[in-house]
Amino acid sequence: MQWAASTLWWLAAGVLVAVELASGTFYLLMLAFGAAAGALAAHLGAGANTQMVIAALVGGGATALWHFKRFRAPRSAPAEANPDVNLDIGQTVRVDAWAADGTAQVNYRGASWAVSFRGTGAPAPGEHTIVAVQGSRLMVAPRSAP
């Protein structure tokens, strides 16, 4: 049984998508786009060399574009300080007194929390903003004026 060139390209695209789903490597999906472009070129009657060039250009180009897009994208904050991960980031707590080592105890969400100072200068009592959460310790900075 002789398979058409387009069938082989579609099988290659399917295998690349399956491996991408198993591994989570998004770059393989870009290469699958290249294989699909090779299949479309085969459907249009292009020769084997043209099919390979089109597949390489589309797959390689898509991979390069994805790489540069990710490279230029801003990095997200670490989980301990990322408000998308921890909804406590950005909330306000009131610190009544600081210990000499820059720690304090505050009541927040109905529980007592250990607090560490992450601002500049000496810690002072008052309103503070949660900037990170490390385990059961809140990292706070002085609240900026609105």
pLDDT string in tens for the chain (146-residue length): 788 899 999 999 999 999 999 998 888 999 999 999 999 999 999 999 999 999 999 999 999 998 898 888 887 777 777 787 888 898 999 999 999 888 999 999 889 999 999 888 888 899 999 999 988 899 999 987 55
Residue at token pair 């309103």: 127
Q: In the chain, where are the structural domains located?
A: 5-72, 79-142
Angle, alpha carbons 47-48-52 (nearest 5°): 120
Task: Give yes or no for a contact between 136 and 113, defined as CB atoms under 8 angstroms apart.
Answer: yes
Which amino acid is residue 41, in one-letter code? A
Predicted model pTM: 0.55
Length, in residues, of the chain: 146
Alpha-carbon span 113 to 128, nearest angstrom? 14
If phi > 0 it is left, if psi is from -120 to 50 it is alpha, else beta; for residue 91 that is beta
Q: Thinking of the domain 79-142, which architecture would CATH place it in? A: Beta Barrel (2.40)
